[in-house]
């Protein structure tokens, strides 16, 4: 496995140039067979507890020298360990190439499982009604799911391209294993599609809960407004300017208990309004 710094140490500059050129090409999920060399470009997922990092990789199989070179973007020790993990060392370049494809498939399986666990966690957050975190996590998962689905789709396309080309297929010692990898990739795609639908359902549930909470707030504010409207109406009536010399023009203004009467009327109307709305479930 090679990083950008390792390319300068390659003895064959044509191999280093081919790896660098394909790393700079847009897109992935394809293979090119040039003379005795097969070059494949794919994305490799690196899953952890918080995200899935897609690393671009160029795999070059040199049949003339019997070597396989893997150039990985932002290669680190963890990626070396994950791709290099194998029970027994490969005997030739064909076994090494198949082992790399199988290892990439297992990393996609791990990433798909990680996405599933994260979606389950977000569903639990909805039950706990932690809506702010649900919105944040849903957006993050949606973006990660799109990138992972694109990587799986391109990887399966690359495997099918290898299977359909006789020259490329000869570089795989076990064609049955190649077909199994294609089937596994197709299952990952179907699983990710189910996860996408689940994520859509989570977003809809989140929007429904937010809407219900907003309705509750509006209903509560409306109830408070109704309760306060009655004493406000009474206060506005007694705040009018009337001539006290006429007995029908607000006689309470000349009454000794007029002030207490008005306050009591306001309090009683507020209590009555509160009790009526509480009985209807607005409080």
Last residue of a domain, one of 193, 213, 233: 213
Residues 181 and 243 in one domain: no
Q: Which of 202, 85, 68, 79 is nearest to 133 (CA)?
A: 202
Lowest mean pLDDT among 39-43, 114-118, 161-165, 206-210: 206-210
Q: Are residues 259 and 122 in the same domain?
A: no
Q: Give the CATH number, domain containing residue 123.
A: 1.20.58
pLDDT at residue 20 tops 70 = yes
Look at residue 159 in the predicted model and tell me its pLDDT: 93
Residue 2 lies in a domain: no
Contacts of residue 148, Cβ cutoff 8 Å, sequence gap at least 6: 45, 52, 54, 108, 111, 112, 115, 192
Residues in the chain: 283
Q: What rounded mean pLDDT belongs to the chain? A: 83
- Residues 163-183, mean pLDDT to the nearest whole number: 89
- CA separation, residue 56 to residues 50, 72, 81, 82, 178 (Å): 20, 6, 17, 15, 21
Residue 204 has pLDDT above 90, yes or no: no
pLDDT score, position 15: 82
The answer on 232 and 202 residing in a single domain is no
Q: Which residue has the tokens 């996609």?
A: 108
Query: Do 61 and 98 sit in the same domain of this protein?
Result: yes
Same domain, 256 and 148: no
What would the two tokens of residue 158 be?
Answer: 């690359």
Same domain, 35 and 51: yes
> Per the domain annotation, does 1 fall within a domain?
no
Q: Say which residue, 165 or 238, is predicted with more confidence.
A: 165
The confidence score (pLDDT) of residue 187 equals: 94
Q: Give the mean pLDDT of 195-220.
A: 85
Q: Is residue 102 part of a domain?
A: yes
pLDDT tens digits along 46-75 = 877 567 888 888 999 888 888 888 888 877
Structure confidence at residue 85 as a pLDDT band (50, 70, 90)? low
Cα 156 to Cα 103: distance, rounded to the nearest angstrom: 14
Same domain, 106 and 182: yes
- Calculate what percentage of the chain has a pLDDT beyond 90: 17
90 found inside a domain: yes
CA dihedral 96, 98, 99, 105 (to 10 degrees): 150
The 10s digit of each residue's pLDDT in 102-154 is: 999 999 999 999 888 888 888 887 776 667 778 788 888 888 888 899 999 99
- Give mean pLDDT, residues 219-228: 85
Structure token pair of residue 137: 């996590």
Same domain, 193 and 271: no
64/159 same-domain check: yes
Domain range for 235: 214-279
Q: Are residues 80 and 144 in the same domain?
A: yes
38-67 residues labelled b (16+ CB within 10 A) or e (exposed): bbbbbbbbbbeeeebebbbbbbbbbbeeee
Backbone angles phi, psi at 217, to 5 degrees: -65, -45
pLDDT band at 202 (very low <50, low <70, confident <90, very high): confident
Instruction: State the total domains in the chain.
Output: 2
pLDDT band at 89 (very low <50, low <70, confident <90, very high): low
Looking at per-residue pLDDT, the higher value among 4 and 265 belongs to: 265
Q: Is 191 exposed, middle or buried (0-12, 13-18, 19+ CB in 10 A)?
A: middle
- Which of 161, 189, 213 is a domain's end point? 213
272 within some domain: yes
Q: Which of 173, 190, 213 is the last residue of a domain?
A: 213
- 265 and 142 housed in the same domain: no
* 51 domain-assigned: yes
What's the confidence (pLDDT) of residue 49? 56
Cβ contacts of 182-190, under 8 Å, gap ≥ 24 = 182/156, 184/105, 184/109, 185/105, 185/108, 185/152, 185/155, 185/156, 185/159, 186/156, 188/108, 188/109, 188/112, 188/152, 189/149, 189/152, 189/153, 189/156
Do 254 and 266 lie in one domain? The reply is yes
Q: Which residues pair with 171 in a beta bridge?
A: none
Q: pLDDT confidence of 90, banded at 50, 70, 90?
A: low
């Amino acid at each position: 496995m090679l990083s950008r710094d390792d390319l300068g140490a390659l003895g064959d500059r044509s191999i280093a140039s081919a790896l660098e050129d394909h790393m700079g090409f847009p897109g992935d999920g394809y293979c090119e067979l040039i003379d005795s060399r097969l070059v494949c470009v794919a994305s490799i997922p690196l899953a952890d507890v918080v995200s899935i990092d897609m690393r671009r990789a160029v795999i070059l199989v040199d049949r003339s020298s019997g070597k396989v070179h893997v150039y990985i973007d932002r290669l680190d020790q963890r990626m070396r360990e994950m791709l290099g993990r194998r029970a027994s060392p490969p005997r030739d370049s064909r076994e090494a190439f198949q082992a790399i494809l199988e290892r990439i498939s297992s990393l996609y399986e791990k990433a798909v499982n990680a996405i599933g666990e994260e979606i389950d966690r977000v569903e639990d957050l909805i039950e706990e009604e932690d809506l702010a975190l649900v919105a944040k996590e849903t957006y993050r998962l949606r973006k990660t799911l799109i990138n992972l689905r694109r990587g799986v789709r391109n990887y399966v396309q690359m495997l099918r391209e290898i299977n359909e080309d006789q020259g490329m297929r000869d570089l795989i010692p076990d064609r049955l294993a190649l077909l199994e990898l294609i089937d596994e990739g197709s299952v990952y795609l179907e699983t990710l599609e189910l996860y996408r639908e689940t994520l859509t359902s989570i977003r809809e549930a989140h929007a429904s809960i937010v809407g219900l909470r907003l309705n509750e707030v509006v209903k509560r504010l409306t109830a408070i407004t109704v309760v306060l409207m009655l004493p406000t109406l009474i206060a506005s009536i007694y705040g009018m300017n009337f001539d006290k010399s006429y007995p029908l023009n607000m006689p309470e203004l000349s009454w000794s208990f007029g002030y207490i009467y008005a306050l009591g009327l306001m309090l009683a109307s507020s209590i009555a309004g509160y009790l009526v709305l509480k009985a209807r479930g607005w409080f």
